[in-house]
């Protein structure tokens, strides 16, 4: 039996893992086109034609609307900004409650707090790592107005069930599809299943512009409110007395022309990028067959997976006999890059457990219902906590390119570690 690298043996993985980079002549030409024009942004924060941005921004937005099959695509300078626009566009009051998953990037929840509304965490299920539709009803109070649903790791949540609960209780749905552009859910495009959805164009995402985001919606009123919040709403409402003024607090969330031009080139590559990523993930999954106590991710019936992260789960027996930290350390020592032993438990962040966000007086948590506050801290979301502390480990596929050789060696490394589990225990 080969000696584990963590115990001084030879690492199983020798392949090179280039950083994920999909830029070529297309993006260079896009950047040069904008530089040559001398116009790096063509927005004006006043009610005029340029309120909607420059030629590249609008052209990219048209391309996004066509690609995702929506009436409105609205670009922003990050998807965090997009989430803030989306929550602000809803008809919510300070102290209203919005349901969100704890297994997501922190901004999914922070966008709610920005409007002085209260994030209320709903635990996740283990098939997709997304919000568990069966746990939603118990968190709903008279103050609940909306649900923000992430499609984490690149796979949709159980949207049919989630949308049914939302409809039953009159809640709006915002879909955080940052990690799942181009993924499908039962014949529909992920990100377009709720009232508002969107994607991140941050450096780590499937397609990117360094920083950026795309909001999508079919709703004219919501689209207009998000365009206003993106671009100094409070300066525009005087010229538009027809608009409701609630939450028309504006920001500068405008995407630059150069980023928009890059985005357009990247969007044309999305399908090819996803096809390659799926090949990598499926080849890796083939190599991980037959490992006792390792639960592999799979796309649900009628769905496709974008494999932003390949989320793995260890059986109770393996958690007890070896523990995931030792297994992950051993895999790292074998030379696997980007193997992670945690993701995120947002509901355990100090901002929530200490109930301190704006100032020192507990605002806006002092407006929250006891049910909302009971969704914070240890014990509030047991599945997410068990995954974080004991069961979850992931291959963070978004960071590197994986060659055939690399994929093969990673499979070998897992099998080597599994053959030596007794030694690790
Ligand atoms: C990346 C990400 C965000 C934030 O997007 P940015 O463009 O980096 O602001 C939000 N939610 C999820 C699930 C993400 O992965």
Task: Name the closest-CA residue to atom 5, ligand 1.
Answer: 79
**Contact of 208 with 201, CB cutoff 8 Å:** yes
Pairing of strands 118-121, 97-100: parallel
- Inter-residue contact 119 to 100 (CB < 8 Å): yes
308 Cβ inside 6 Å of ligand 1: no
Q: Could you tell me the distance, in angstroms and rounded to a whole number, from the CA of residue 306 to the centre of ligand 1?
A: 15
Check: CB of residue 74 under 8 Å from CB of residue 253.
no
Residue 5 in contact with residue 423, Cβ under 8 Å?
A: no
Residues 420 and 4: their CA atoms lie apart, in Å, by 7
Which sign, positive or negative, has the C-alpha torsion 53, 59, 60, 64? positive
Q: Whose CA is nearest to atom 6 of ligand 1?
A: 79
Say what the pLDDT of residue 1 is: 72
> Which of 340, 350, 183 lies closest to 273, judged by CA?
183
Q: Which atom, in ligand 1's list, is nearest to the CA of 200?
A: 7
Residue 312, SS3 per DSSP: strand
The strand order across the sheet containing 144-150 reads 72-76, 213-217, 196-200, 172-176, 144-150, 97-100, 118-121
Which of ligand 1's atoms lies nearest the C-alpha of 82? Answer: 9
From atom 8 of ligand 1, which residue's Cα is the shortest distance away?
A: 202
Q: Which of 176, 230, 259, 396 to mutate to test the pocket of ligand 1 (most atoms within 8 A of CB)?
A: 176
DSSP 213: E
Cα 19 → chain centroid = 20
326: which residues sit within 8 A by CB, 6+ positions away?
424, 425
CA dist list (Å): 195 to 28, 71, 144, 220, 278: 35, 12, 16, 11, 28
Distance 81 CA to ligand 1 centre (A): 10
Spatial separation of the C-alpha atoms in residues 51 and 240, rounded to whole Å: 13
Place of tokens 């985005």: 263
- What is the DSSP secondary-structure string of 380-394? SSHHHHHIIIIIEEE
pLDDT for the residue numbered 178:
98
List the chain pLDDT tens, one digit each, 425 residues. Answer: 789 999 999 999 999 999 999 999 999 999 999 999 999 999 999 999 999 999 999 999 999 999 999 999 999 999 999 999 999 999 999 999 999 999 999 999 999 999 999 999 999 999 999 999 999 999 999 999 999 999 999 999 999 999 999 999 999 999 999 999 999 999 999 999 999 999 999 999 999 999 999 999 999 999 999 999 999 999 999 998 899 999 999 999 999 999 999 999 999 999 999 999 999 999 999 999 999 999 999 999 999 999 999 999 999 999 999 999 999 999 999 999 999 999 999 999 999 999 999 999 999 999 999 999 999 999 999 999 999 999 999 999 999 999 999 999 999 999 999 999 999 98
Rounded to the nearest whole angstrom, what is the distance from the C-alpha of residue 178 to the centroid of ligand 1? Answer: 5
Q: In what order do the strands lie in the sheet with 294-295?
A: 294-295, 310-314, 392-395, 339-340
Whether residue 179 has its Cβ less than 6 Å from ligand 1: yes
368 CB within 6 A, ligand 1: no
Instruction: State the Cα angle at 209 between 208 and 211, rounded to 5°.
Output: 100
Q: What is the pLDDT of residue 135?
A: 98
């Amino acid at each position: 039996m080969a000696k584990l690298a963590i115990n001084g043996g030879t690492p199983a993985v020798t392949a090179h893992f280039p950083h994920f980079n999909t830029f070529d002549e297309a993006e260079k030409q896009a950047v040069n086109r904008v530089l040559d024009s001398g116009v790096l942004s063509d927005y004006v924060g006043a009610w005029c034609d340029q309120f909607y941005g420059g030629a590249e921004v609008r052209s990219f937005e048209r391309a996004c609307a066509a690609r995702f099959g929506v009436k409105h695509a609205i670009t922003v300078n990050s998807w965090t900004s997009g989430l803030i626009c989306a929550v602000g566009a809803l008809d919510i009051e300070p102290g209203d409650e919005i349901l969100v998953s704890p297994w997501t990037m922190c901004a999914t929840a922070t966008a709610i707090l920005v409007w002085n509304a209260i994030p209320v965490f709903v635990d996740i299920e283990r098939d997709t790592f997304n919000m568990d539709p069966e746990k939603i009803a118990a968190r709903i109070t008279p103050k609940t107005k909306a649900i923000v649903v992430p499609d984490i790791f690149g796979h949709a949540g159980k949207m049919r069930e989630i949308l049914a609960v939302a409809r039953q209780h009159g809640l709006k749905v915002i879909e955080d599809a940052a990690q799942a552009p181009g993924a499908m859910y039962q014949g529909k495009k992920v990100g377009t299943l709720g009232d508002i959805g969107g994607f991140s164009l941050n450096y780590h995402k499937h397609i990117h512009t360094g920083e950026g985001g795309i909001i999508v919606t079919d709703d004219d009123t919501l689209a207009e409110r998000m365009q206003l919040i993106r671009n100094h709403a409070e300066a525009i409402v005087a010229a538009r007395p027809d608009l409701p003024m609630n939450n028309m607090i504006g920001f500068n969330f405008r995407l630059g022309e150069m980023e928009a031009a890059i985005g357009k080139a990247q969007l044309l590559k999305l399908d090819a990028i996803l096809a390659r990523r799926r090949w990598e993930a499926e080849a890796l999954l083939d190599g991980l067959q037959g490992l006792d106590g390792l639960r592999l991710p799979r796309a649900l019936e009628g769905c496709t997976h974008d494999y932003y992260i390949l989320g793995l789960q260890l059986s109770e027996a393996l958690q007890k006999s070896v523990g995931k930290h030792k297994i992950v350390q051993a895999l790292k020592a074998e030379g696997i890059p980007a193997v992670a032993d945690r993701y995120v438990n947002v509901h355990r962040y100090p901002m929530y457990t200490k109930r301190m966000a704006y100032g020192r007086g507990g605002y806006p948590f002092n407006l929250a219902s006891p049910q909302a506050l009971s969704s914070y801290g240890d014990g509030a979301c047991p599945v997410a906590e068990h995954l974080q502390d004991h069961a979850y480990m992931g291959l963070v596929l978004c960071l590197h390119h994986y060659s055939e050789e690399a994929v093969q060696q990673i499979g070998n490394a897992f099998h080597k570690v599994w053959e030596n589990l007794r030694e690790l225990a």
